[in-house]
Amino acid sequence: MTEPDGYIADRRAIGVFDSGVGGLTVLHECLVNLPHEDFVYLGDTAHFPYGSRRLADVRRLAFAAAESLIQLGVKLIVVACNSASSAALPQLQSTFSTPMVGVVMPGARAAVQATRERRIGVMATEATVLSNAYQNALHSLDAGLEVFAVASPRLAPLIQEGDVYSDETEQAAREAVGPLKAAEVDTVILGCTHYPLITPMLRRLLGPRVALINSAEETAREVGEILVRKGIGNEEGREGDYRFFASGDPEEFRQVGARFLQLPIREVGQI
């Protein structure tokens, strides 16, 4: 594609972070939708899980992760963790000049578009549910919605361990889905970036009439729009590069991560 006259490509990478490997589901969407951009992903695995921590702790960890990415010279940060978006996005946005995109509002927007009965379920970590971030985002878009949020403390850790198809994972999913089925929601937001990995299990438990919302696609779209509007996109037609850092064991991240990214993960640096 030819860029307009006077166009200067912004070659800086886009930063993406999560408490672990869950944010790789968001990175996956960004990589397939914006193949000409460079990305740097940080998995704060040394502090996983964020979801069972107090909101103030999650906020502190989110600030440290964002600062690490800013030091690496990124042009935009995707907070690819619902717990961190819920606990810290407004504070991150008001502290740093680097544009920050969270995953809560994109998911809420997609859910509001999908629901017919205006009954929306949210499955998320304890931190995300306690923060009321989804409830607030959904009601800011449609004040008449009924929102049912269920916290699952076990699901993300089981998925992070790579235990995606075990009986224990299915049991935890069943427990989370139960109240949402009872509430007769017609749309369920996967309010944790780890959950897209168990989509088939959730579809089977919720039934074919319930729409499942994965905010990764919406988030990638929003990132693309911001790059265009701010004029900070890289040169189209080139093939971008992507690299990884983990705060915990890099080898463990590499092994579990490829399944979430569905693309090769070569080197993982420690940060």
Q: What's the CA angle centered on 111, arms 156 and 29, to 5 degrees? A: 60
Nearer to ligand DGL, 46 or 183 (CB): 46
Helix (H) or strand (E) holding 244: strand 242-246
**Residues acting as catalytic residues:** 81, 192
Task: List the structure tokens of 186.
Answer: 């017609």
Can residue 156 be called a binding residue for ligand DGL (CB under 6 A)?
A: yes
Nearer to ligand DGL, 18 or 37 (CB): 18
**Minimum gap (Å) between residue 205 Cβ and ligand DGL:** 20
Can residue 42 be called a binding residue for ligand DGL (CB under 6 A)?
A: no
Q: Which stretch, 7-15, 49-57, 180-188, 208-216, contacts ligand DGL (CB under 6 A)?
A: 49-57
Segments of 19-168 assigned E as strands: 39-43, 76-79, 100-101, 119-124, 146-151
x/- binding map, residues 69-108, to ligand DGL, per CB under 6 A?
A: ------------xxx-------------------------
**Minimum gap (Å) between residue 15 Cβ and ligand DGL:** 16
Nearer to ligand DGL, 26 or 233 (CB): 26
Can residue 253 be called a binding residue for ligand DGL (CB under 6 A)?
A: no
Q: Residue 27 to residues 14, 41, 148, 251: CA-CA distances in angstroms?
A: 10, 8, 28, 19
Please state, in angstroms and rounded to a whole number, the distance separating the CA atoms of residues 169 and 159: 8
Please state, in angstroms and rounded to a whole number, the distance separating the CA atoms of residues 226 and 229: 5
**Minimum gap (Å) between residue 93 Cβ and ligand DGL:** 18
Nearer to ligand DGL, 41 or 50 (CB): 50
Judge contact between 80 and 22, C-beta under 8 A: yes
Q: What are phi and psi of 119, to 5 degrees?
A: -125, 110
Q: Residue from 13, 14, 15, 18 that binds ligand DGL (CB under 6 A)?
A: 18
Can residue 218 be called a binding residue for ligand DGL (CB under 6 A)?
A: no
Judge contact between 66 and 92, C-beta under 8 A: yes
Interface residues with ligand DGL (CB under 6 A) are 18-20, 22, 48-51, 81-83, 125, 128, 156, 192-194
